[in-house]
């Protein structure tokens, strides 16, 4: 299995950047930017590579544990699920309710969350639990929210299985 990772390792102190867009923005330059490789930078590349390799290995190993592959849910997801468990519509089966709960306990975009929150916190539905449950279920269906399917965990690897493909050193503009 081949995967490619970008890392920006600052010289000295500072956090390693993992996010691809950040790494690419940091190396952005003009075509006519002069290319230089001072000895200090060339030698620092070895230490930077070891830091990058360790960081990549840690990220990979996090993804070998199925518990780390579960979505991070916001409090509203849990509150809606708890409400539906306490006030299940009487006209749907337990299987259908379980399917709805799987959709509730999946990540939502902010726009989806806003629409569900509008129904969940609607003061007109405060004393109408059955109607509120139906409207929540209908909103989830209208939004096309699907149950979360965790990716399969990665197989464990050793740091020695991580290879450097390319590196670049950057200096500040003068």
Residue 17 has pLDDT above 80, yes or no: yes
pLDDT band at 152 (very low <50, low <70, confident <90, very high): very high
Q: What is d(CA 105, CA 73) in angstroms, rounded to the nearest whole number?
A: 7
Q: Is 8 exposed, middle or buried (0-12, 13-18, 19+ CB in 10 A)?
A: buried
- pLDDT of 12 reads 78
Structure tokens at 124: 């007109």
pLDDT in tens, 37-64: 889 888 999 999 999 999 999 999 999 9
Which band of pLDDT confidence, cut at 50, 70 and 90, is reported for residue 113? very high
The per-residue pLDDT for range 69-111, each reduced to its tens digit, is 998 999 999 999 999 999 999 999 999 999 999 999 999 999 9
Nearest to 136 by CA among 106, 109, 113: 113
Average pLDDT of the residues in 2-28: 91
- Cα separation, 78 vs 61, whole angstroms: 28
Tell me the average pLDDT of the chain: 93
What is the share, in percent, of the chain residues with pLDDT greater than 70? 98
Domain range summary for the chain, segments of one domain joined by +? 1-70+153-174, 72-143
Q: What's residue 168's pLDDT?
A: 87
> Distance (Å, rounded) from C-alpha 135 to C-alpha 121?
11
What's the rounded Cα separation, in Å, for the pair 145 and 81?
14
Q: What is the pLDDT of residue 62?
A: 95
Please give the structure tokens belonging to residue 21. 């867009």
Q: What is the pTM of this model?
A: 0.69
Query: For residue 4, what pLDDT is reported?
Result: 92
pLDDT of residue 11: 85
Predicted pLDDT at 174: 59
């Amino acid at each position: 299995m081949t995967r490619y990772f970008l890392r920006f390792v600052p010289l000295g102190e500072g956090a390693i950047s993992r996010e691809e867009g950040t790494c690419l923005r940091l190396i952005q330059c003009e075509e006519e930017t002069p290319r230089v490789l001072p000895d200090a930078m060339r030698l620092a590349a070895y230490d930077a590579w070891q830091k990058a390799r360790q960081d990549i290995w840690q990220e990979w190993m996090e993804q070998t544990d199925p518990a780390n592959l579960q979505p991070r849910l916001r409090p509203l997801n849990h509150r809606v699920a708890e409400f539906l468990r306490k006030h299940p519509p009487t006209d749907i089966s337990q299987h259908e309710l379980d399917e709805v709960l799987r959709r509730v306990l999946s990540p939502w975009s902010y726009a989806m969350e806003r629409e569900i929150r509008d129904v969940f916190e609607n003061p007109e539905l405060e004393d109408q639990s059955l109607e509120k449950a139906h409207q929540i279920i209908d909103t989830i269906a209208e939004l096309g929210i699907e149950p979360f399917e965790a990716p399969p965990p990665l197989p464990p690897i050793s740091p020695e299985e991580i290879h450097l493909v390319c590196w670049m050193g950057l200096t500040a503009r003068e």
